[in-house]
Structure 1
Amino acid sequence: MAETVGRNLANSMTEMSLVSGRAIVIRPRIPGLEWIANGYGDFALGGTLVEVKCSVKRFSSADYRQVAIYWLLSYAASIEGHEAEWEDFVLLNPRSGEKVSMKFNAFLSIISSGRTKLDILQLFQSLVGSRLTH
C-alpha cells in the first residue's frame, strides 16, 4: 500500500509539474507571523501550494483551513516585501486519487463574506496578535 501511495504521489507531482511547466519544490517555506513560527508545506510548483493528505476520508474543513492559514501567512509576508503570496493551492490525496485545485482569490471570495484580503489579514492579526501584559 505504501509503495502504491508513494508511486501515485510521485506520478501526480510529475504530471502537475509538466502541465504547469514549473519545478517541484519540496518543503516550501511557510513564513511565520507574530508568535507563529516559520514552517514548511509539503510541495509547491511556482506560486501553487500543494498539500498532501493520505486519508481514507474526503478532504475536511481542517484541510481547507490549513491552506487558508498558509495563504494568510504568505500574504502578510508579501505585504512586508519578504515573500511572494501563494496564488493557488492543490489538496492532493495520493491514496484515493482525489485532487482539488483552486485559485486563492476564488477560494477567498467563497469564504470571506465579502471581506478584502487586507480585511481578512487584519482580522487574522487581531486574533493571533501579540498579547502584551503589563
Structure 2
Amino acid sequence: MRKEPARRAPGTLEAEVLGVLGNAAEPLTPAEVQAKLADDLAYTTVVTILTRLHDKGAATREKHGRSYRYHAVDDEAGLAARKMAKVLDGEPDRDSVLARFVTQLSDSDEALLRSLLRGKK
C-alpha cells in the first residue's frame, strides 16, 4: 500500500517560491525556480504558483522569449502582511476586527506592535 505524501499547509509553496525569488540576484524563469526548489514539483505547478504570485502583486514579471522571468516584490513577511491587509480590507467593521486582533496577541507581540507603532523596534 502506497502512502500519500502529506499535504502542505496553505501558502507553503508560495512562500517557498517567493523565497527562491527573493534570494535570486536577478529575475528567474519558471525552470530556474523549479531547479532551485527542494521538492520535485512539476513545471506547470511552478508556473501556476508564479502566476498567482504575480496576480497578487507579490512578484513582477518581464517577457523572456515565449515565457516570463519573475522577481519578488515582497519577502515572506511582506506577503503575510499583504494577506492580512487584504482580509482587513474585506471586513465592514475594521475597528472591531483590529480591536479583536490586538486582544488576541500575546503580551510580547502586543509590546512589539506598540513599539512599532511608536516608530521603534
Under TM normalisation by the shorter chain, which class is it?
Answer: 0.3 to 0.5
| Larger helix proportion of the pair | 2
Name the TM-score, length of structure 2 as normaliser.
0.32
- Which has the larger strand fraction? 1
